[in-house]
Amino acid sequence: MSETIFSKIINREIDADIVFEDEHCLAFRDVNPQAPLHVLVIPKKPIAMLAQADDDDGELLGHLMLVARRVARDEGYGDAFRLVMNNGEAVGQTVFHMHLHVLAGRGFQWPPG
């Protein structure tokens, strides 16, 4: 996978407002928030998109979901939040380093998009 803005954040080449970090992932506030809470949860392992994750990545993918839950809870939105993961340019993925959007603090519509 080529270097992305997210890999530069992981490597501390670009500043970010980090709200959580462990050995597997990093969570930071989106610079263009779409809701009062808008945090991105990214794996430190370079995976471009969910479609390119291996079956062996199951534990990591589950961990990302649990970190998203923790971030929402820690930010005061543990009872109502939305997770979004885009997979491919055609559906809105703009950074090709897999990431979860954790969104909360306003009403959302269904279907999204």
**Active-site amino acid positions:** 99
Measured CA angle at 42 (ends 38, 44), to 5 deg: 155
Q: In 1-113, where does DSSP find H-type helix?
A: 5-10, 58-74
Question: How far apart are the C-alpha atoms of 8 and 15, rounded to whole Å?
Answer: 9
Tokens of 34: 């779409």
